[in-house]
Amino acid sequence: MLEKFIPDLIRTSLIGSIGILILVILRENLLKKYTQNCIYYMWLLIIARLLILCRIPMYVCPKIYNIFSSSVSTNKKIDNKVSLYSIHVTSTIYSQYNVSFNKIIGFIWLIGVILAAIYYTYTYFNLIRNIKQHCYTINDEQILNIYRELLFELKITKKIELKYYDGINSPFGTGIIKPYIVIRKNCYNATELKLILKHELIHFKKYDLLYKIGLILVKIVHWFNPLVYMMCKLVDSDCELACDESLLKNLGLEERKLYAFTFINSLRFNKKHTFQNDVITGFNDNKNILKRRLENMLNLKTKRKGIVIGALSALIISGSLVSINVFAETNKTDVKPLTNKTDVKPLTNTTSQVVLLYKGKAKDIPENLRNSNKNLMEAHPNDLVFVIEKSN
């Protein structure tokens, strides 16, 4: 199974890498014209593509294919007499080595996936254990009233517990089944607290925690791809920028200044406390990211929502999932098994030549000609198969 899966995995990782590089190159210019939420959800399209490892087959008839292909190359035509979904050409000399190589790569990838899954699972449950052991309930009615008002304002009906935890760098939210928002005690006035809690609740309202789980799954599946880790860092910062943007929407300059001061005030604890969990919470104290967040908070320029560019990106990503295949009526007389070896043509001027052992549907291949591609043939029983042998 692994040897069949690895080519799809590599192809998906390459397509995703191209998408990452394109968005990284365009990101700075796009941020000047479009909202941060537009960029944030364009990342989501790439994440979704990286998690979809299979392609959707789309069948077209040879006439239609020839019409479209003629604009690219007038020399390529499809024979109407042959039914093609995909042609698996198996060589009795080389196929065993190829399958063995894919198996080795597959086992290495699987070991990496298991180790990455263990790491992220341990990190998450360690965070939850810390919360349960060291957090305590908030009994301050003023804080609870502010929190209830915000839940009502944002129309959040799901129960999200509010806890104190004195050993954290910055307030954060975590948990899917049993969500928490964790803050420090006696560090904020009522106005600051309202802005901080609203920021964390917007994360929940936008399902950012599910988004982050998607990022973790991408890092587990594509642990070998360095561009994936670069993407995850950018998405973490864009997540905070998008949340700030949603919170500050329709607010004036004075209210934005207040939010910026609150944000700066919350950073004063970073050097005093060490508990931090970037994997789950996404908090990042990189100076460049903090500077960009502050600049965006005070930016009153109106930006486009980016619906058109988002739809175009979705269309391109969807197109990369489709596999175009040619389909036509089968001429059964052309695919009968060959009972005797038949010379096809010389490969070179030397004595090397190709000997055709079998030509027909995969399901009808004689048992004595089956090799290490047996599983592949069973998965595609109606495909046209050529079993060849190179002899000297």
Chain-centre distance of CA 357, in angstroms?
43
Residues 6+ positions from 168 with CB-CB distance below 8 Å? 182, 184, 269, 273, 275, 276
pLDDT in tens, the chain (392 residues): 666 788 889 999 999 999 999 999 988 888 778 888 888 989 999 999 999 987 776 665 655 555 555 554 444 444 433 333 333 444 444 444 455 777 888 899 999 999 999 999 999 888 888 888 888 888 888 899 999 999 999 999 888 889 888 777 778 888 878 888 988 887 778 888 888 899 999 999 888 988 999 999 999 999 999 999 999 999 988 898 899 888 888 788 888 888 888 877 766 655 444 444 444 444 455 667 777 888 888 877 778 888 888 888 888 888 887 766 555 444 444 444 444 444 444 444 444 555 666 777 777 777 767 665 677 677 677 777 777 666 55
Q: In sequence order, what are the residues at sequence separation of 6 or more whose Cβ sits closer than 8 angstroms to the Cβ of residue 163?
A: 131, 135, 136, 137, 138, 180, 181, 182, 183
Contact 78, 84 (CB under 8 A): yes
Residue 89: what pLDDT? 41
* Residue 391 confidence (pLDDT): 56
Q: Is 137 left (phi over 0), alpha (psi -120 to 50) or beta?
A: beta
Q: Which residues contact 252 (CB under 8 A, 6 or more apart)?
A: none
CA 155 to chain centre: 30
Whether the CB-CB separation of 215 and 235 falls below 8 Å is answered with yes
Q: What is the pLDDT of residue 102?
A: 76
> Locate tokens 């939850």: which residue?
128
Q: Give CA separation, 223 vs 8, 219, 235, 253, in Å.
A: 15, 5, 17, 43
The per-residue pLDDT for 59 is 60
**pLDDT at residue number 272:** 47
